[in-house]
Amino acid sequence: MTATHCPYCALQCGITLEPNLQGNSPEPVSLTGRDFETNGGALCRKGYSAAKLLDHPERLQAPLLRQADGSFAQISWEHALDLVAQKALNIRAESGADALAVFGSGSLTNEKAYQLGKFARLALGTSRIDYNGRFCMSSAAAGTNRAFGLDRGLPFPLADLDGAGMILMLGSNVADTMPPFVRHLAGARDNGGLIVVDPRRSATAKLCADNAGWHLQPTPATDLPLLLGLAHVLVTESLADTCYLAARTNGFDSLRSSLAGWWPERTAQVTGVPAEQIRHTARALAQAASEAKTGGKPVYILTGRGIEQHSNGTDTVTAAINLALLLGLPGTLAGGYGTITGQGNGQGGREHGQKCDQLPGYRKITDPEHRAHVARVWGVDPETIPGPGLPAVELLDALGTPTGPRMMMIHGANPVISAPDASRVIQALSRLDFLVVCDFFLSETAAQADLVLPVLQWAEEEGSMTNLEGRILRRRAALAAPENARNELWILSQLAQRLNAPGRFSPDAQEVFEELKLASAGGLADYSGVRWDDLDAGAAIYWPCPAGTEVRAERGIRNGTPRLFLDGFAHEDQHAVLVPVVFQPAPRKNNSSVSLVTGRLLEHYQSGAQTRRVPELAQAAPEPRLEIHPTTALAHQIAQGQKVVISNERGAVTARALLTVDARLDTVFLPFHYPTSGTANLLTEAKVDPHSRMPEFKHAHVSLSAVKEEQ
Amino acid sequence: MNEQRPQRIIIIGFGPVAASLIEGLLPAAASGQCEITVISAEDQLAYNRVLLAELAVGAAEFAHLSMADPQRLADAGIEVRLGVRATGIDRSRRRIHLDDNDFVSYDRIVFATGARAVVPTLNGLNFEPHTDASLPAGVFALRTVEDAHQLRKSIGLGQRILILGGGVLGIEAALAIARTGAQPVLVHHGPTPLGRVVDADGGALLTRNLREAGVEVIPGAKATGVQKDARGFTGLMTSTHGLIQADALLISTGVRARTELASGCGLPVGRGIKTDEFLCADTEGRIFALGDCAEVSGQPPVGLLAPGWAQAAFLSQLLLQLTSSAASEPLAAPDFSASDVLMLKGQGIELTAAGDISAGYWDDTDLQATVYADPARGRYLKIVTRQDAITGFLAMGLPQTSAELVLAYERGTALPEDRSSLLRLDDPATDQISAIPSDEDQLCRCSGATYGQVSHAVDAGCTTVAQVGESCRAGTGCGGCKSKIEELLSKAPSLA
């Protein structure tokens, strides 16, 4: 029996794996829910069926090299590694180290994320590394860093939500994306206090029914003004916590003047949310927050990708944080603000140095002291560490351009499906001289590669993950890997040798973790007091956990820093910063277009490279469906179940119409998990946020036309 | 234009529209691309006039109305001169003369002088149109923070306060006063308040709503003068209703653009300072006007903030371009036409109006009118469309519908052919009670377990939700279907 965690989302549900004897079962291990704090033994369909991927027939069995005729041929590891090293050396000699690029992932273990960043900087010598978390958590990270001086998704344990009196959830559909999360909303629902903001009446919005709360349904891309309107009511009706603001924040005067123009009726005209709903919501939040501070139940504001994946995502997160600060919640036991991290290691993945501007321990690559510290741990001269590189969208755009990278290595990501403006991404990849993709299936991105390296899956490897609450967990191997698949740590260590890289590149997860601890010591995300043995014993450890922290493994004991900011925020004066933000309405588009929002289905995870290969999930959601209001469908002469072409200046997608009154009249919804002509990201725009470089995933203008199907 | 020194932009007036313009120019000021000076006759930084009624009744504090942060302006190097009046403009020497005998030089001027309250021609009032009238004791306007402070002193419990004028500001003031326990009396021309945007049916409902909210409404009144005693106002004389006695009078008969400075320096003036579609008021491209003081391509100002803000957003872009040395595409002509939406503010009456709703439903034009009236529930809707795009609407008691109609009106999107589907937005159909689920229907979303699978588990002897979960995984995800499983368990025949 092996206690580990689900391979998918950041909830990192506890599971138990038990190897099945040969022939007893269709799967190599049987997988059951384990009583762990985030899931309480519960799992969703994705989690239950995860073991079906381990001995999947499409599992890659050997390194694959593209042949002259376009097909792939199996080659030996020796040949593959020599080839990668040779290509990298040649290209570097011809065009410089920045002609080499690395693209990482929030699905990699902490150790892999760390080693990948180090490999890029020391072995390749390139500045050009970034990762798919840019498409995920970057706006929330930029917003929380700006306000609090620190970014940890939930700055409190998830279980704190259980006792909440009120929860405002903006742009997150946990009922589909991470179903066991819903158990933590039960307290707020029982209290009539679940408020969901979503342009769709999503499965999560439906949890507000029966007096469990209420749903605000703004038109897409107007979350920012809605938040400004809520904050306006708090300020003008003198409902803000002025004592808290004076004691723990800076910038109220400036914030206040930015809010004066957002009275509820004006907000209603921009968002489509009735003014009375805005007033009612703001007053209810203020009432609940004031009760929370006098012995009542705490109040939380949570955000997800729905409000973050916009070209004003950072400002929108800031507006949500400002609302929480006006209510006097963050850094108290009366509640707080949190962002719900998506990818399995979306938290750890953004701490250990695979971001283009970052070094391990959430350090800045531009800060001389930070560079010096990491250089000491790596045993190199700080001068040898390159400067900041390009964030994901810019990095992908630069591929194969005269000054851009000529070779790229992709680990744990499928940008052909998950990056915006997908046809541009495919073009960019095709401009490369040499594309290496590490994956365990031939993902749509791997299919574009010159060389594909088969790697391990979650149940075959050791490592650590950091979940959505900043708790560090152990991922454990329960069975042997296929003969020819390799651990990415081993791959990087082999390549580092061939490239004569300075520093150590261990193939062993625990050894890498020990080095990660040293590199993170003294940084914001300090892991130096986290002991592997304590993790093994199941100790609940939340970063920062500096060296010397006493850790106890008993159940119910929380170690490290379960709750951040109780004594002060991470800025020098310990105050949080209220940053005024401005809403710039998008110029009006042609009036026959409708708004497209993209998102996820319960059955699929991210680009679908895994879940589309699980038969029961694929059968339940085999193809993209376009959620559309019946009235809008009628106007476009679209019938239930009919195929529809959704198009704009960037591309066209085909999906089957699903008529539902859960949609707004002006908005259609597409899941983004599907390949080829079903890839929703063919339609999204690579316009990015000025602070986080997050692209505009959640809003595009599209035209609809029904496909006349021939019988 | 490629000038080396930073251009000097002088903004005359510091209301909400000027504040929004400055917000847009802030980065350019901070970077030294331009130098900005704001001249304002008022003593305060920009504040939100829309909330003055709340201030007058004590429901908001002045600090909360502030729309500019002095520190932020100072950090960007923007000079603000409060309590200073521009007295004249010398366009040949490009100087603005100030009432403190100083002058400032300019490269560009933006008029954001706004509007002043119109004082009607009544016996006993000084109605000089081009100055700020001094009103007798007990008579007020509500245009400035000073007005609001004055009015506030007169509003006391049981005091009878006349509001002259049936426009949106008068109605909002009357409703705000009603909440304080004073007795507002709305005296207006014509058959209904808001006569310019509501029709007879909507007006009837509005009048009913106002009375229910504690506002006495006197329609069709023609005021002729004010009656005063030694302490001030005592009543309004009318030719239609005789003398209407009250303790105070709030004049809310509209506003007039402040144009005298512009006309004094030879700029053409109509209902406002005349500008072209790019907000430019002179032939040299040095002088601009926006907001309540501007008549943009022949359209008189409408007295709402939204068009002014839309103009500010455009003008900041234009000024950035004009003061930049970098070449750029000329801006396309902006369209401010759809910004005339009126939404009655926060006093329990839900009314939204836009455009022109005068078209009748039997009129033989290309305009189509749709009407829905439900007086018992206080609902009324009239929509006028041309080829399914809204040209005007009035929605009352339908908050969700009106919010959606605003979006459709501003975007110019086509309405559903069946307009009645819009009404359902305010009564979202409750989830249809499905027929008795079949065995193939999904019971548990998270696991995908069907009713058939759960029934099978129950038949096989499961007696608790947990046992059913172990058997078929139903109820083991989000836990949302527990009640459905319990229902099936309770229907199972007892084994005992």
Q: How far apart are CA B169 and CA B145, in angstroms?
A: 15
Chain B nearest C-alpha distance from A31 (Å) = 12
Pairwise CB contact (< 8 Å): B445 & A602: yes
Cβ contacts of residue A145 below 8 Å, gap of 6+? A151
Instruction: Show which of B402, B426, B450 is a domain's final residue.
Output: B426
Q: Specify whether the CB–CB gap between A13 and A42 falls below 8 A.
A: yes
Mean pLDDT of B170-176: 95
Domain enclosing residue B477, as ranges: 438-496
Chain B nearest C-alpha distance from A310 (Å) = 20
Paired residues of A300 in beta bridges = A167, A336
Cβ contacts of residue A438 below 8 Å, gap of 6+? A409, A410, A411, A412, A452, A453, A455, A488, A491
A-chain CB neighbours of B429 within 8 Å are 661
DSSP 8-state assignment for residue A17: E
Q: Are residues B123 and B249 in the same domain?
A: yes
Chain centre to alpha carbon of residue B217 = 23
Q: Specify whether the CB–CB gap between A359 and A370 falls below 8 A.
A: yes
> Is the pLDDT reported for residue B496 higher than 70?
no
- Amino acid (one-letter) located at A31: L
Mean pLDDT of A250-263: 95
Please tell me the predicted confidence (pLDDT) of residue B8: 95
- A227-236, A368-377, A428-437, B426-435: segment of lowest average pLDDT: B426-435
Tell which wins on pLDDT, A49 or B346.
A49
Please tell me the predicted confidence (pLDDT) of residue A256: 95
Please tell me the predicted confidence (pLDDT) of residue B429: 56
Chain A nearest C-alpha distance from B307 (Å) = 12
> Is the pLDDT reported for residue A453 higher than 60?
yes
Domain boundaries A594-706, corresponding CATH code: 2.40.40.20
Q: Are residues B418 and B369 in the same domain?
A: yes
Please tell me the predicted confidence (pLDDT) of residue B446: 85
pLDDT band of residue B428 (cuts 50, 70, 90) is low
Chain A nearest C-alpha distance from B122 (Å) = 34
Q: Are residues B445 and B473 in the same domain?
A: yes
Closest CA to A419 of A27, A620, A686: A686
Closest CA to B55 of B139, B135, B155, B133: B155
A-chain CB neighbours of B473 within 8 Å are 48
Taking only the tens place, the pLDDT of each residue in B186-235 is 999 999 999 989 999 999 999 999 999 999 999 999 999 999 999 899 99
CA-derived radius of gyration, chain A: 24
Q: Specify whether the CB–CB gap between A548 and A541 falls below 8 A.
A: no
pLDDT band of residue B470 (cuts 50, 70, 90) is confident
Q: Are residues B145 and B110 in the same domain?
A: no
Candidates A183, A260, A661; nearest CB to B65: A260
pLDDT band of residue B324 (cuts 50, 70, 90) is confident
A-chain CB neighbours of B406 within 8 Å are 268-269, 272
Candidates A179, A269, A665; nearest CB to B477: A179
Instruction: Show which of B323, B341, B376 is a domain's final residue.
Output: B323
pLDDT band of residue B436 (cuts 50, 70, 90) is confident
Assigned domain for B381 exists: yes
Q: How far apart are CA A274 and CA A296, in angstroms?
A: 29
| CATH code where residue B378 lies | 3.30.390.30
A-chain CB neighbours of B65 within 8 Å are 236, 260
Residue pairs spanning A and B at CB distance below 8 A: 170
Q: How far apart are CA A287 and CA B185, in angstroms?
A: 34
Pairwise CB contact (< 8 Å): A635 & B416: yes
CATH class of A2-53: mainly beta
Q: How far, CA to CA in Å, does B119 sit from each of A180, A611, B127, B262, B449?
A: 65, 72, 5, 21, 73
CB-based burial of residue B85 (10 Å sphere; 0-12 exposed, 13-18 middle, 19+ buried)? middle
- Domain positions in chain A are 2-53, 64-136+357-454+512-548, 138-339, 594-706
Tell which wins on pLDDT, B4 or A352.
A352
- 10 Å Cβ neighbour count for A413? 29
Pairwise CB contact (< 8 Å): B69 & A41: no
Chain B nearest C-alpha distance from A18 (Å) = 16
Using DSSP's 3-state secondary structure scheme, residue B150 falls into helix
B-chain CB neighbours of A260 within 8 Å are 47-48, 51, 64-67
Candidates B23, B413, B478; nearest CB to A180: B478
With tokens 């179903």, the residue in question is A179
Taking only the tens place, the pLDDT of each residue in A165-224 is 999 999 999 999 999 999 999 999 999 999 999 999 999 999 999 999 999 999 999 999
Taking only the tens place, the pLDDT of each residue in B123-135 is 988 766 666 668 8
Tell which wins on pLDDT, B254 or A565.
A565
Candidates A33, A186, A235; nearest CB to B64: A235
Q: How far apart are CA B270 and CA B254, in angstroms?
A: 16
Mean pLDDT, chain A, rounded, equals 95
Which helix (H) or strand (E) is A274 found in, with range?
none
Mean pLDDT, chain B, rounded, equals 90
CA-derived radius of gyration, chain B: 30
pLDDT band of residue A22 (cuts 50, 70, 90) is low
- 10 Å Cβ neighbour count for B233? 23
Pairwise CB contact (< 8 Å): B403 & A274: yes
Q: How far apart are CA B344 and CA B209, in angstroms?
A: 12
Per the structure, how many domains does chain B have?
4
Q: Are residues B306 and B402 in the same domain?
A: no
Please tell me the predicted confidence (pLDDT) of residue A590: 61
Q: Specify whether the CB–CB gap between A43 and A6 falls below 8 A.
A: yes
Taking only the tens place, the pLDDT of each residue in B347-369 is 789 999 999 999 988 887 899 99
> Is the pLDDT reported for residue A295 higher than 50?
yes
The dihedral through the CA atoms of B165, B167, B173, B176 has a sign that is positive
* B54, B64, B179: best to mutate for the A interface, most A CBs within 10 A: B64
Mean pLDDT of B335-340: 78
Burial B256-280 (b: 16+ CB within 10 A, else e): bbbbebbeeeebebeebbbbeebbb
Q: Are residues B53 and B159 in the same domain?
A: no
B-chain CB neighbours of A175 within 8 Å are 445, 478, 480
DSSP 8-state assignment for residue B50: G
Closest CA to A183 of A301, A342, A41, A339: A41
Please tell me the predicted confidence (pLDDT) of residue B495: 52
Q: Specify whether the CB–CB gap between A132 and A265 falls below 8 A.
A: no
pLDDT band of residue A141 (cuts 50, 70, 90) is very high
- Amino acid (one-letter) located at A282: A
* A182, A214, A265: best to mutate for the B interface, most B CBs within 10 A: A265
Please tell me the predicted confidence (pLDDT) of residue A710: 60
Please tell me the predicted confidence (pLDDT) of residue A405: 98
Chain A nearest C-alpha distance from B127 (Å) = 32
Q: Are residues B143 and B218 in the same domain?
A: yes
Q: Are residues B108 and B18 in the same domain?
A: yes
| CATH code where residue B176 lies | 3.50.50.60
Assigned domain for B67 exists: yes
A-chain CB neighbours of B421 within 8 Å are 631
> Is the pLDDT reported for residue B432 higher than 60?
no
Q: How far apart are CA B177 and CA B246, in angstroms?
A: 14
Instruction: Show which of B426, B452, B470 is a domain's final residue.
Output: B426
CATH class of A138-339: alpha beta
Paired residues of B294 in beta bridges = B273
Please tell me the predicted confidence (pLDDT) of residue A688: 94
Please tell me the predicted confidence (pLDDT) of residue B156: 82
Q: How far apart are CA B31 and CA B324, in angstroms?
A: 11
Burial B104-126 (b: 16+ CB within 10 A, else e): bebbbbbbbbbbbbbbeebeebe
pLDDT band of residue B434 (cuts 50, 70, 90) is low
The dihedral through the CA atoms of A192, A193, A196, A202 has a sign that is negative
Pairwise CB contact (< 8 Å): A269 & B406: yes
Q: How far apart are CA A59 and CA A39, in angstroms?
A: 29
Please tell me the predicted confidence (pLDDT) of residue B328: 80
Q: Are residues B107 and B129 in the same domain?
A: no
User: Between A488-498 and A110-118, two packed helices, what is the crossing angle to 10 degrees?
Assistant: 20
Please tell me the predicted confidence (pLDDT) of residue B442: 86
Q: Are residues B151 and B92 in the same domain?
A: no
A-chain CB neighbours of B309 within 8 Å are 261
Q: How far apart are CA B436 and CA A232, in angstroms?
A: 47
Closest CA to A131 of A519, A473, A409: A409
- Interface predicted TM-score (ipTM): 0.91
Chain A nearest C-alpha distance from B160 (Å) = 26
pLDDT band of residue B2 (cuts 50, 70, 90) is very low
A629: left (phi > 0), else alpha (psi -120 to 50), else beta?
Answer: beta
Question: Which residue of chain B has the CA closest to A179?
Answer: B478
A-chain CB neighbours of B428 within 8 Å are 661
Q: How far apart are CA B301 and CA A310, in angstroms?
A: 35
> Is the pLDDT reported for residue A279 higher than 50?
yes
Q: Are residues B219 and B302 in the same domain?
A: no
Q: Specify whether the CB–CB gap between A358 and A389 falls below 8 A.
A: no
The CATH fold of domain A64-136+357-454+512-548: Rossmann fold (3.40.50)
Please tell me the predicted confidence (pLDDT) of residue B333: 83
A-chain CB neighbours of B344 within 8 Å are 265
Question: Which residue of chain A has the CA closest to B15?
Answer: A261
> Is the pLDDT reported for residue A588 higher than 70?
no
Q: How far apart are CA A319 and CA A143, in angstroms?
A: 9
pLDDT band of residue B435 (cuts 50, 70, 90) is low
* B393, B413, B476, B485: best to mutate for the A interface, most A CBs within 10 A: B476
B-chain CB neighbours of A631 within 8 Å are 416, 418, 421
Q: What is the residue-wise DSSP string for A628-674? A: E-HHHHHHTT--TT-EEEEEETTEEEEEEEEE-TTS-TTEEEEES--
The torsion angle over the Cα atoms of residues A599, A603, A606 and A611, rounded to 10 degrees, is: -160
Chain B nearest C-alpha distance from A566 (Å) = 29
DSSP 8-state assignment for residue A148: H
Pairwise CB contact (< 8 Å): A203 & B445: yes
Taking only the tens place, the pLDDT of each residue in A98-140 is 999 999 999 999 999 999 999 999 999 999 999 999 999 999 9
Q: Are residues B134 and B207 in the same domain?
A: yes
Burial A341-364 (b: 16+ CB within 10 A, else e): bbbbbbbbbbbbbbbbbbbbbbbe
Please tell me the predicted confidence (pLDDT) of residue A148: 98
